[in-house]
């Protein structure tokens, strides 16, 4: 057994906890000053924490783990200008091997004075390599002419369902592909080998652990499940993974007998996911009223509530859970109506209630706030989306921003919040997320003077719950509860400073000095002695 002593453990019901006994990956006991936990069993290792603060390990409740890992290796186009992105593409392209694709991510035309790019602009810096750049939202793609040629995209190429090829004045594809149309380019890119994918997973995992993340709800493709299992079989998997199932993999997952909560060790199956609309940036989020800057456009609704009810019947019959991506207020309303019908059906048939989530819930109607508690819907949100998107929200949604990223309104109406990052869309740094939730300010604006829609700020306690106890509560993993209490997973992080004792505007400056998962130190800062 492992004994941790002389710490300041965050245990709200036992605020004077200073020691903890860990056995076989679980917390065996906690103690106050003067407690002797050694009598409970033979202690093989003792660690003097020297007054460090101990928090439960943090959960990223919405991430794309493999994409995040892969994106650590590609062109970063999260830049303040389009030209800076182009310069970075040229730097990589100039050193790329013959026939290699240049892959990048992070551009946001809404933050660029020049707006969207074109294939022609990429052609000028690509050094004859095909270029594929995903937008920060992951709902748009920017490609060059060579990439379009390899994908077979021509002037007479048709749009596909739930996607749009943007064209120039002559009707030719101009290099921008919205929503599912981006798949037309993606399918031409040589797939990473299994070894490359697993190296990306491991790199991403190490990065997250250093940030204090001990558990993730992953929404990458179902293929990743086999990679996770292989890595686990080799003893190299460290994070707890709740594997969500994207729409394109539903049938495969059902045929394989996968259901929510299934699993063991570090890997469990999470919810089956649906998309109800697109995203804010490309104006594909489905709205009840048009975009302020585009009066003819109210976004793209992918499904109606009736369609979701019908196509989820088989999933629900297997006692599995659902997660619906919904950004705009119309999409959220449709998702809620689908869930309302599902709850009514459960009551009629006596079927065990599913755990229902809405991913993002970025814009809500006032009348829908109470539905989250009444229908037991979890709002799975990403605090950094608010601070990244606030300028776009001001321009595109106007006064509707009062119920945009409405964390406080949801909590006031009894909703359960879980927080994540949607990485690689945003940084997975949870302390940046805590800062955004509590201040509604950009990290880059520190020290900022004003908060954006300040009435939607929440307390640090509520934000911490959204990274710990709440995601554990919907995971169906018995030993996961996000608390430092006996019987729970021994997942924790060490902090030099108590986050509750500093100014909210300083939260983003914090970082763990060590991370423990399942009772093992998975990362310790080189300057820390344990």
The alpha-carbon radius of gyration of the chain (Å, integer) is: 23
Cα–Cα distance between 165 and 306 in angstroms, integer?
A: 28
Report the pLDDT value the prediction gives residue 448, as an integer from 0 to 100: 67
Q: Residue 34 — very low, low, confident or very high, per pLDDT cuts 50/70/90?
A: confident
What confidence tens digit (pLDDT) does each residue in 63-116 have? 999 999 988 888 999 999 999 999 999 998 988 888 889 999 999 998 899 899
DSSP annotation of 343: H
- Under CATH, which number does the domain 67-186 receive? 3.10.310.70
pLDDT, tens only, 470-480: 999 999 998 88
Section 228-243 average pLDDT: 96
Residue 407 C-alpha from the chain's centroid: 16
Q: How far is 418 from 437, CA to CA, in rounded Å?
A: 12
pLDDT digits (tens, 9 = 90+) for 290-316: 999 999 999 999 999 999 999 999 999
- The two beta strands, 26-31 and 416-419, are unpaired
Q: What is the pLDDT of residues 178-197, one digit of tens each?
A: 998 999 999 999 988 999 99
Give the pLDDT of residue 161. Answer: 80
> Residue 245 in 3-state DSSP?
strand
Return the SS3 of 299: coil
pTM, to two decimals: 0.87
C-alpha angle 417/406/310, rounded to 5°?
65
Give the residue ranges of DSSP H helices in 133-234: 145-150, 182-186, 194-210, 224-233
């Amino acid at each position: 057994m492992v004994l941790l002593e002389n710490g300041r453990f965050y245990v709200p019901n036992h605020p004077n906890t200073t020691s903890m006994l860990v056995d076989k990956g679980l917390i065996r006991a906690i103690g106050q000053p003067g407690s002797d936990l050694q009598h409970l069993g033979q202690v093989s290792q003792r660690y003097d924490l020297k007054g460090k603060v101990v928090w439960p390990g943090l959960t990223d409740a919405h991430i794309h783990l493999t994409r995040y890992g892969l994106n650590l290796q590609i062109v970063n186009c999260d830049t303040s200008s389009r030209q800076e992105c182009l310069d970075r593409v040229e730097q990589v392209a100039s050193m790329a091997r013959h026939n290699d694709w240049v892959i990048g991510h992070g551009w946001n035309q809404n933050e660029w004075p020049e707006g969207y790019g074109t294939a022609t602009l990429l052609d000028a810096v690509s050094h004859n390599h095909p270029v594929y750049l995903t937008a920060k939202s992951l709902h748009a793609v920017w490609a060059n002419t060579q990439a379009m040629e390899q994908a077979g995209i021509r002037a007479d190429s048709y749009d596909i369902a739930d996607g749009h090829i943007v064209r120039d004045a002559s009707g030719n594809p101009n290099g921008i592909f919205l929503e599912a149309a981006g798949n037309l380019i993606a399918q031409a890119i040589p797939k990473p080998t299994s070894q490359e994918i697993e190296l990306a997973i491991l790199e991403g995992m190490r990065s997250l652990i250093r940030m204090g993340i001990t558990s993730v709800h992953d929404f990458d493709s179902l293929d990743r499940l086999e990679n996770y299992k292989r890595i686990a079989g080799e003893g190299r998997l460290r994070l707890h993974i709740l594997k969500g199932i994207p729409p394109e993999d539903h049938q495969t997952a059902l045929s394989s007998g996968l259901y929510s909560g299934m699993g063991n060790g570090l890997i469990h199956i999470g919810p089956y996911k649906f998309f109800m609309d697109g995203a804010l940036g490309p104006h594909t989020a489905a709205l009840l009223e048009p975009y302020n800057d585009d009066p003819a456009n109210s976004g793209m609704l992918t499904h109606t509530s009736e369609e979701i009810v019908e196509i989820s019947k088989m999933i629900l019959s297997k006692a599995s859970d659902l997660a619906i991506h919904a950004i705009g207020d119309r999409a959220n309303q449709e998702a809620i109506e689908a869930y309302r019908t599902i709850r009514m059906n459960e009551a009629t048939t006596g079927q065990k209630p599913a755990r229902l989530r809405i991913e993002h819930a970025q814009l809500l109607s006032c009348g829908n706030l109470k539905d989250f508690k009444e229908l037991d819907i979890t709002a799975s949100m990403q605090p950094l989306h608010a601070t990244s998107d606030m300028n776009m929200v001001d321009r595109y949604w106007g006064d509707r921003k009062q119920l945009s990223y409405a964390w406080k309104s949801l909590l006031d109406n009894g909703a359960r919040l879980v927080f994540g990052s949607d990485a690689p869309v945003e940084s997975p740094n949870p302390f940046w997320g805590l800062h955004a939730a509590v201040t509604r300010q950009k990290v880059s604006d520190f020290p900022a003077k004003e908060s954006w829609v300040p009435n939607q700020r929440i307390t640090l306690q509520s934000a911490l719950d959204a990274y710990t106890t709440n995601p554990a509560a919907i995971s169906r993993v018995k030993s996961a509860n996000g608390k430092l209490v006996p019987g729970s997973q021994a997942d924790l992080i060490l902090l030099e400073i108590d986050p509750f004792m500093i100014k909210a505007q300083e939260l983003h400056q914090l970082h763990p000095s060590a991370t423990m998962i399942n009772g093992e130190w998975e990362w310790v800062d080189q300057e820390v002695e344990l």
